[in-house]
Amino acid sequence: MTVSIMNRLLLIASAFLFTMSIYAQQRPNIILIMSDDHAQQSISAYDTTYIRTPNIDRLANEGAIFENSFCTNSICAPSRAVILTGKHSNINGQVHNGIRFDSSQVTFPKMLQAAGYRTGMIGKWHLQSQPTGFDYWVTMHDQGRYYNPEFIYQNGVTKVEEGYATNLITDKSLQWIDEVSKGGQPFCLLLYHKAPHRNWMPDTADLNLFRGKKYPLPGNFYDSYNGRVAAAAQEMSIAKDMLVTYDLKMYDPAIEDTKWSIRNYVDDYSRFNPAQKAAWDKEYKPVIDQFIKNRPTGKALSEWKYQRYMEDYLRTVASIDKNIGRVLQYLDNHNLANNTIVIYTSDQGMYLGEHGWFDKRFMYEESLHMPLLMRYPGHIQAGTHVMQMVQNLDFAPTLLDFAGVKPDPAMQGVSFKKIVEGKSKKWRDAIYYHYYEYPGFHSVKRHYGVRTDRYKLIHFYYNIDVWEFYDLKTDPHEMHNEFNNPVYAKQINKLKKKLQKLREQYKDTAEDNFRIGGSNSQKGN
């Protein structure tokens, strides 16, 4: 080979390597922050009624807020599986919480990993099988614990670590980002918080927040569930089902409660170290004493429970917000903000007293909505409001799209990259939903349905056969089931057809009569 050919080959090779390295650098890092049961109503970018969340709001101000982001099945493990696979529950198999996720499936982290991304998963996993597709992972057993949680590392080591879950998960995440961001490869981190899940245990550092603040009761707090059989049959009512000891921390021999409630509370309480216990008692002891003194009953008790619920729930949210602030600050300080997509979401929505409830599961608005905010400077315009109806089903194809990786053709979701970038407006006109976990915790009947920008049609099945129809424009709080109202007959017919089409499209035409074993009741011993 002559010298000039050698030189030419070297030149071509170095140009190729240079292009590759630019390409590698241009692919964005991805940080998907997800919390557990975070109601959109308690993010001030959406709603300023209850709390200020300045750090989460930063993502909306500097990027996009999705006004119509929904889950496909409003419960934890199913939502996580939908996010990983880009497929509905009937296809990915995770129809309810009590199933071991089939981790041999194609997931977006696996695809990113194969495309050269460093991948990490830190926090609440809740899918029973071990995470796959990650270079690094550390999770918690099942729901995890708020205080001094036990972490499970991928090398098989389990370790109880002192501190508060939301802080610890953030510490570990920043440490991992610190390590991987120094290499040449882009990274993708799933940063999954336990909070603000039941039983809403705040960080001792936040116990002074919101003390004694009065929250407005939602207008339908005293819902009679007229015309809504399934809504009447649930067991997630603040008045009836919220437990004063376990949920509201009123632990005292003078206070009666179920054995389940007391046992579970003691289980958490016994984990405190002396300093945590002292701070905890300092906050709750006076509240307990007051409660014993006043002994509220009837409506006064329901409203007292609501206020206590809100106080603790919002304290756990404040900690999430603070820790998101730490992540954003880290990115700023390390010159990573511009090349990193940051997303904030929750596995589903949550009731903060609407219809008198806590928990989720129903296809009604508060639990169907998933908060979704996304920042990617230079690509997503600051202050973008996305009105299109996106779903967690779309996360996988969207993130792959941003990373320049072609989604797996079997994924059922659609990339909303062009939508959030403001490059296209073309989108679906209806979303599909299917909830299966019945019989189970909180007794929400199995149902599936369709929602358009204005209407919603739901079919409750399994041990009932009931249809509901709502006009969200005239009845945004879903108090009037108009299924039998002739005024809507044409609309209902249209929606029934749409529902059938979606069920065919998503291969979900069979009403699944699988059995859910055992009793999940929290009311027994």
Rounded Cα distance, 397 and 403, in Å? 10
Closest CB to ligand SGN among residues 351, 488: 351
Query: Whose structure tokens read 């659609």?
Result: 414
**Are the beta carbons of 402 and 83 closer than 8 angstroms?**
no
Query: Is the Cβ–Cβ distance between 222 and 355 less than 8 Å?
Result: no
> Looking only at residues 66 through 125 of this chain, which bind ligand SGN when binding is defined by CB under 6 A?
75-76, 97
Q: Which is nearer to ligand SGN, 29 or 261 (CB)?
A: 261
| Least distance CB 521 / ligand SGN (angstroms) | 11
CA distance 33 to 31: 6
The site string for ligand SGN over 184-223 (x = CB under 6 A, - otherwise) reads -------------xxx------------------------
Residue 348 Cβ vs Ca ion, minimum distance, rounded to whole Å: 5
Q: How far apart are CA 242 and CA 204, in angstroms?
A: 22
Binding mask 29-48 for Ca ion (x = CB under 5 A): -------xx-----------
Residue 409 or 517 having the CB closest to ligand SGN: 517
Scanning residues 425 to 464, which ones bind ligand SGN (CB under 6 A)? 441-442
Question: How many residues line the site for ligand SGN (CB under 6 A)?
Answer: 12
Nearest CA among 316, 297, 340 for reference residue 59: 340
Contact predicate 72/380, CB 8 Å: no
Q: Which of 57, 303, 311, 359 binds ligand SGN (CB under 6 A)?
A: 359
How many whole angstroms separate alpha carbon 41 and alpha carbon 351? 9
Q: Which does 451 bind (CB under 5 to 8 A by kind): ligand SGN, Ca ion, none?
A: none
DSSP string, 213-224: --PPPPTTTT--
The distance of closest approach from Cβ of residue 484 to ligand SGN in the complex, given in angstroms and rounded to an integer, is 31
Q: Which is nearer to ligand SGN, 58 or 369 (CB)?
A: 369
Closest to ligand SGN by CB, 110 or 124: 124
Comparison of 197 and 498: residue with beta carbon closer to ligand SGN: 197
Q: Which does 198 bind (CB under 5 to 8 A by kind): Ca ion, ligand SGN, none?
A: ligand SGN
CB closer to ligand SGN out of 87 and 442: 442
At CA 56, angle to CA 50 and CA 59, rounded to 5? 135
Q: With respect to ligand SGN, which residue has the nearer C-beta, 280 or 435?
A: 435
- Per-residue string for binding with ligand SGN, 292-331, x by CB under 6 A? ----------------------------------------
What would the two tokens of residue 141 be? 């057993």
Total Cβ atoms within 10 A of residue 244: 23
For the CA atoms of the chain, what is the radius of gyration? 24
Residue of 123, 211, 209, 136 lying closest to 164 (CA atoms)? 123
Partner in contact with 452, chosen from ligand SGN, Ca ion, none, beta carbon below 5 to 8 Å by kind: none
In the region spanning residues 49 to 78, those forming contacts with Ca ion, defined by CB under 5 A, are 76
| CA distances, 270 to each of 261, 264, 265, 361 (Å) | 14, 10, 9, 31
- CA–centroid distance for 274 within its chain: 32
Residues 336-355 that bind Ca ion (CB under 5 A): 347
291 HSE (CA, 13 A, CB side): 23
Distance, CA of 55 to CA of 34 (rounded, Å): 14
* Min dist. Cβ of residue 347 to ligand SGN (A): 6
Contact assessment for residue 451 and residue 430, using Cβ atoms and an 8 Å cutoff: yes
Cβ 81 to ligand SGN shortest distance, Å: 12
Task: Give me the least distance between CB of 357 and ligand SGN, in Å please.
Answer: 11
| Shortest Å, Cβ 77 to ligand SGN | 7
Q: Residue 265 CB, nearest distance to ligand SGN (Å)?
A: 10
Return the residue of 32, 36, 355, 392 that touches ligand SGN, per CB under 6 A. 36
Shortest Å, Cβ 504 to ligand SGN: 28
- Answer yes or no: are the C-beta atoms of 319 and 163 closer than 8 Å: no
* Residue with the shortest CB distance to ligand SGN: 76
Rounded Cα distance between 85 and 103, Å, is: 10
Going by their DSSP bridges, the two strands 447-451 and 455-460 should be labelled as: antiparallel
Size of the site for Ca ion (CB under 5 A): 4
Within residues 128-167, the interface with ligand SGN by CB under 6 A covers: 143
Task: Give the integer Cα–Cα distance in Å for 177 and 331.
Answer: 9
Other CB atoms within a 10 A radius of the CB of residue 61 amount to 13
| Chain residues that interact with ligand SGN, rule: CB under 6 A | 36-37, 75-76, 97, 143, 197-199, 359, 441-442
| Chain residues that interact with Ca ion, rule: CB under 5 A | 36-37, 76, 347
